Amino acid sequence: MNVFKEETLLRIFIGESDYHEGKALYEKIVIKAKELQLAGVTVIRGIMGYGANSQIHTAKILRLSEDLPIVIEIVESEENIKKILPFLDEWIGNGIVTMEKVRTIKYED
């Protein structure tokens, strides 16, 4: 059976070298999302990108970057997404967070 829902996609753009209190920021966000019982989180490591400072970061073999782009995605109800926003406000020094309405299809047996 397929379940169709309107939900919210939270997308967090940070750098791999972003830390908060000695822990990688992406790890801290995933752990907090789990504590808040959000449905699921995906962390995507980009192979190339740049941000506000226009410095290009790349994973090319000859030039290994230690600050590759990281995108964290969470799809949940807007009500549940709002639970993690105060933590992001405190933890993110440089980055962008987007929220958008999405239509999901959940496949279940």
How does pLDDT run along the chain (109 residues), one tens digit per residue? 788 899 999 999 999 889 999 999 999 999 999 999 999 999 999 877 766 666 666 655 545 556 788 999 999 999 999 999 999 999 999 899 999 999 999 887 7
Model pLDDT, residue 106: 85
> Does CATH place domain 12-92 in 3.40.50.1000?
no
Tokens of 87: 């933590």
Model pLDDT, residue 6: 95
φ and ψ at residue 27, rounded to 5 degrees:
-65, -40
Give every CB contact of residue 37 below 8 A, 6+ residues apart in sequence: 80
Among residues 101, 57, 59, the alpha carbon closest in space to that of 76 is found at: 101
CA distance 98 to 11: 5
Tokens of 4: 């169709």
**Full 3-state SS string of 88-104:** HHHHCCCCEEEEEEEEE
Give every CB contact of residue 36 below 8 A, 6+ residues apart in sequence: 80, 83, 84
Assessment of whether the complete model's pTM goes beyond 0.95: no
For residue 24, the cross-strand partners are: 19
What is the residue extent of each domain of the chain? 12-92
Model pLDDT, residue 4: 87
